[in-house]
Amino acid sequence: METTLIILKPDAVQRGIMGQIITRFENKGLQVVGAKLMKISQQLAATHYEAHSARPFYAGLVKFMTSSPVLVLAIRGNKAIEVSRNMMGATFGSKAAAGTIRGDFGVSNSFNLIHGSDSPEAAERELKLFFAAGEVQDWSRNADAWIYDMSGGKAE
């Protein structure tokens, strides 16, 4: 099972749609193994988005991400990164397909509601930025037997 970082950005928190977004992940069969409502500091935002520091949108992104609380989630499941990113939809809400989080809730090209790790390496790095040791839980769900076909010895 893979664990990924999901951030419900300030616009999702301010609009009161956190529950609807979490419900989508749980309905899909993904497991919430960590959750934290927090205000991201300037330093944490700068570290998290350092790969974009030379881009023209960087300063605005850091300002946006530090403007209001966010909900940080650790989500676990089979192919959790790929599944989550498909659920999120295209980066810009105006271009995201209906049925995706951004497609159903967003129209802005600046405010895009959600962040998700884009690779296992990014997930490992990002989870360590937002969760201290012991804050991401490892717990068994009885429902996993009804979510994943384990007859071949691994989750399918």
Q: Which domain holds residue 15?
A: 2-132
Task: Report the distance separating Cα 32 and Cα 37, nearest Å.
Answer: 14
CATH number for the domain spanning 70: value is 3.30.70.141
Task: Check residue 35 and give its pLDDT.
Answer: 98
140 within a domain of the structure (yes/no): no
Residue range 97-118, pLDDT digits in tens: 999 999 999 998 889 999 999 9
Residue range 46-56, pLDDT digits in tens: 999 999 999 99
Domain count along the chain? 1
Catalytic annotation on 48?
no
- Rounded (10°) angle between helices 80-88 and 18-28: 130
* H or E element that contains 115: strand 114-116
Q: Of 92, 90, 110, which is closest to residue 100 (Cα–Cα)?
A: 90
69 within a domain of the structure (yes/no): yes
Options 115, 116, 126, 130, the catalytic residue: 115
Task: Check residue 151 and give its pLDDT.
Answer: 84
14 within a domain of the structure (yes/no): yes
153 within a domain of the structure (yes/no): no
Task: Check residue 145 and give its pLDDT.
Answer: 87
Q: How far is CA 8 from CA 31, 60, 148, 151, in A?
A: 16, 17, 26, 35
